[in-house]
Amino acid sequence: MKRHQTKQLFFSVLIFCALLFSASSLFAAPMLSIDDCIKCHALQPNEIETAGAAHKEQINCLDCHVGHRPVSPDNIPACAQCHEGTEHYALSNCMSCHNPHQPLNVVLEGELKAECLTCHVEQNAQLVANPSMHTEVSCNFCHADTHGNIPDCTACHEPHSAEMVQKDCAVCHAAHQPTVLEYPDTTQNLLCAACHDTAYDQLLATPTKHRSVGCVECHASKHKTVPQCADCHGMPHAAGIHAKFPQCGDCHNTAHDLNNLSK
Ligand code: HEC
Ligand code: HEC
Ligand code: HEC
Ligand code: HEC
Ligand code: HEC
Ligand code: HEC
Ligand code: HEC
Ligand code: HEC
Ligand code: HEC
Ligand code: HEC
Ligand code: HEC
Ligand code: HEC
C-alpha cells in the first residue's frame, strides 16, 4: 500500500464510523436538522409547505420543536411561548381552532361567541342592542365551519314571495339586527307587495297621480311609517272646507285610490 492509499482508507473508515455513530445516536442526541424531519414525518412538513403562513415564512420546525424524543420527551411548544398580550391569546385551547402547521385554516366547532368577540365587537353590539332570535344563537350557527363564511338568509328562511331572491333581503334587513326594518328610497313596490297585495293592487289600479308615487316615498325609511297628507300637500282647500271636514279621507278615501278621482 502506498502512503496516500493508507491515508484514504483511514479517512474512509473514519467517515463510515462517523455515519454509523450519527445514525445510531439519532434518538440519543438532539442533532436533528430541519431537513431530517421529512425523512420520518411526511404530514407536517407538507402542511407547513402548503399552508404554513407565518409559521413557514418566519419560523421553522426547530423554533417550535426543541429536541426530540426520547431525549426530550415533550417537544411540543405552548402557543404562549410566542403569542401573548392580547385578549385573543388569553383564550384556552388554541388547538381547537388552529392547527399549528396550517395556522390560518381555522376550523370552527362547537358553539362559539366569546371567542369571536376577541376580535369582532361591533356585530355583537348590534345583536345585543336589538334583541331578536339571532341574538340567541352562536356566531358559528350562521358563520359555520371555516372562518369568514357568510350564509345566505335563504339557506334558513323562505323569501316572502316567489319574486323575491336572496339579494333583496338586505334591502330591508341586516343580519345582526333583523327586526330593525329600514329600507332605502330606491325600494321597489313589488317587494312591499309580497305582504301588502291589496295596497299594491289598489295603487296599480288607480288612475290618479299617486299611481306613480313609490310606496317608500310616502312610507319612508322605516317600516310602518304612515305620512300625513299635509306633509306633502299642506292644506290645499279653503279653510272653511278643512274645518268642516277635518279628514282628507272624508272626500278622498285612501291615499291608495283617492276615490279614483279623475280630473
Ligand atoms: C428517524 C425518524 C425521525 C426523524 C428524522 C424525526 N422524527 Fe420526529 N418522531 C419520530 C418518531 C418515531 C416519533 C414518535 C411517533 C409516535 O410515537 O407517534 C416522533 C415524534 C415526533 C413528535 C411528537 C412528539 C410527541 O411528544 O408526541 C414531534 C413534534 C416530532 N417528532 C418532531 C420532529 C421534528 C421537528 C423533526 C426534525 C427536526 C423530527 N421529528 C425528525 C421519528 C423521527
Ligand atoms: C408554530 C410552532 C410549530 C411549528 C413551526 C411546527 N410545529 Fe409541529 N407541532 C406544533 C404543535 C403545537 C404540535 C402539537 C399539535 C397537537 O397536539 O395537535 C405539533 C405536533 C407535531 C407533530 C406530532 C403530530 C401528532 O399528531 O402528534 C409532529 C410530528 C410535528 N409537529 C412535526 C413538525 C415538523 C416536521 C415541522 C416543520 C416542518 C413542524 N412540526 C413545525 C407546533 C409547531
Ligand atoms: C416559536 C414561536 C411560535 C410559536 C410557539 C407559535 N407561533 Fe404562531 N406565529 C409565530 C410568529 C413569529 C408569527 C408571525 C408574527 C405574528 O403574527 O405574531 C406567528 C403567526 C401566527 C398566526 C398568524 C399566521 C399568519 O400568517 O398571519 C397564527 C394563527 C398563529 N401564529 C397561531 C399559533 C398557534 C395557535 C400556536 C400554538 C399552537 C402558535 N402560533 C405557536 C411564532 C410562533
Ligand atoms: C374559536 C376559535 C379560535 C380559538 C380558540 C383561537 N383562535 Fe386564534 N384565530 C381564530 C380566528 C378565526 C382568527 C382569524 C384568522 C384570520 O384572520 O383569517 C385567529 C387568528 C389568530 C392569530 C393571527 C391574528 C392575530 O390576531 O394575531 C394568532 C396569532 C392566533 N389566532 C393565535 C391564537 C392563540 C395563541 C390561541 C390560544 C390562546 C388562539 N388563537 C385561539 C380563531 C381562534
Ligand atoms: C384573531 C381575530 C379574529 C377572530 C378571533 C375572529 N375573526 Fe373573523 N375576521 C378577522 C379579520 C382580521 C377579518 C377580515 C377583516 C375584515 O374583513 O373585517 C375577519 C372577517 C370575518 C368575517 C367577514 C368575512 C367577509 O368576507 O367579509 C366574518 C363573517 C367573520 N370574520 C366571522 C368570525 C366569527 C364567526 C368568528 C368566531 C368563530 C371570528 N370571525 C373570529 C379576525 C378575527
Ligand atoms: C343559519 C340559519 C339562519 C340564517 C342564515 C339566517 N337566519 Fe334568520 N333566523 C334563524 C332562526 C333559527 C330564527 C328563529 C326561528 C325563526 O323565526 O325561524 C331566525 C329568525 C329571524 C327573524 C325573526 C327574528 C325575531 O326575533 O322575530 C328574522 C327577521 C330573520 N331571521 C331574518 C333573517 C335574515 C334577513 C337573514 C339574512 C341576513 C337571516 N335571517 C339569516 C336562522 C337563520
Ligand atoms: C343569523 C345568522 C348570523 C348570526 C347569528 C351572526 N351573523 Fe354575522 N353575518 C351574517 C350575515 C348574513 C352577514 C352578511 C351581512 C349582512 O347580511 O348583514 C354577516 C356579516 C358578518 C361579518 C362581516 C362584516 C359585517 O358586519 O357585515 C362579521 C365580521 C360577522 N358577521 C361576525 C359575526 C359575529 C362575531 C357574530 C356573533 C356575535 C355573528 N356574526 C352572528 C349572519 C349572522
Ligand atoms: C321590502 C322589505 C323586506 C324585504 C325585501 C324582506 N323582508 Fe323579511 N320582513 C319584512 C318585514 C316588514 C317583516 C316583519 C313582518 C311582521 O312584522 O310580521 C319581515 C319579517 C321577516 C322574518 C320574520 C317573520 C317571518 O316571516 O318568519 C323573516 C324570517 C324574514 N323577514 C326573512 C326575510 C328574507 C329571508 C328575505 C329575503 C329573501 C326578506 N325577509 C326580505 C320586510 C322585508
Ligand atoms: C314580510 C311581510 C311584510 C313586508 C315585506 C312589508 N310589510 Fe308592511 N306590514 C306587515 C305587517 C305584518 C304589518 C302589520 C299589519 C297590521 O298591523 O295589521 C305591516 C304594516 C304596514 C303598514 C301599516 C302601519 C300602520 O300603523 O298601520 C305600512 C304603512 C306598511 N306596512 C308599509 C310597508 C311598506 C311600504 C313595505 C315595503 C317597503 C312593507 N310594508 C313591507 C308586513 C310586511
Ligand atoms: C309623499 C308625498 C305625498 C303624500 C304623503 C300624499 N301625496 Fe297626494 N300627491 C303626491 C304627489 C307627488 C302627487 C302628484 C302631484 C303632481 O303630479 O302634480 C299627488 C297628487 C295628489 C292628488 C291629485 C291626484 C291627481 O291625479 O290629480 C290628490 C287628490 C292627492 N294627492 C291627495 C292626497 C291625499 C288625500 C293624501 C293623504 C291621504 C295624499 N295625497 C298624500 C304626493 C303625496
Ligand atoms: C270636502 C271634500 C274634500 C276634502 C275634505 C279634501 N278634499 Fe282635496 N279635493 C277635493 C276635490 C273635490 C278635489 C278636486 C278639485 C278639482 O279637481 O279642482 C280635490 C283636490 C285635491 C288635490 C288636487 C289639487 C290640484 O290642484 O290638483 C289635492 C292635492 C287635495 N285635494 C288634497 C287634499 C288634502 C291634503 C286634504 C286634507 C287636508 C283634502 N284634499 C281634503 C275634495 C276634498
Ligand atoms: C301617496 C302616498 C302613498 C303611497 C304612494 C302609498 N301609500 Fe300606503 N298609505 C298612505 C297613507 C296616507 C296611509 C294611511 C291611510 C290613508 O289615509 O290612506 C297609507 C296606509 C297604508 C297601509 C295601512 C293601511 C292599509 O291600507 O292596509 C299599508 C299597509 C300601506 N299603506 C302600504 C302601502 C304600499 C305597500 C304601498 C305601495 C304599493 C303604498 N302604501 C303606497 C300613503 C301612501
Distance 123 CA to ligand 7 centre (A): 6
How does pLDDT run across 137-177, given as a tens digit for each residue?
A: 999 999 999 999 999 999 999 999 999 999 999 999 999 99
Is pLDDT above 80 for 24? Answer: no
Distance 89 CA to ligand 2 centre (A): 19
How does pLDDT run across 123-138, given as a tens digit for each residue?
A: 999 999 999 999 999 9
How does pLDDT run across 200-237, given as a tens digit for each residue?
A: 999 999 999 999 999 999 999 999 999 999 999 999 99
Distance 56 CA to ligand 3 centre (A): 10
Distance 158 CA to ligand 8 centre (A): 9
Torsion, Cα 253 257 258 259, to 10 degrees, reads -70
**Cell 407536517, located at residue:** 44
What confidence category does residue 32 fall into, taking pLDDT thresholds of 50, 70 and 90?
A: confident
**Cell 339586527, located at residue:** 177
* Cβ(140) – ligand 5 distance below 6 Å: yes
Is pLDDT above 70 for 8? Answer: no
Mean pLDDT in residue range 30-58 = 93
Mean pLDDT in residue range 16-43 = 66
* Cβ(253) – ligand 12 distance below 6 Å: no
* Cβ(45) – ligand 2 distance below 6 Å: yes
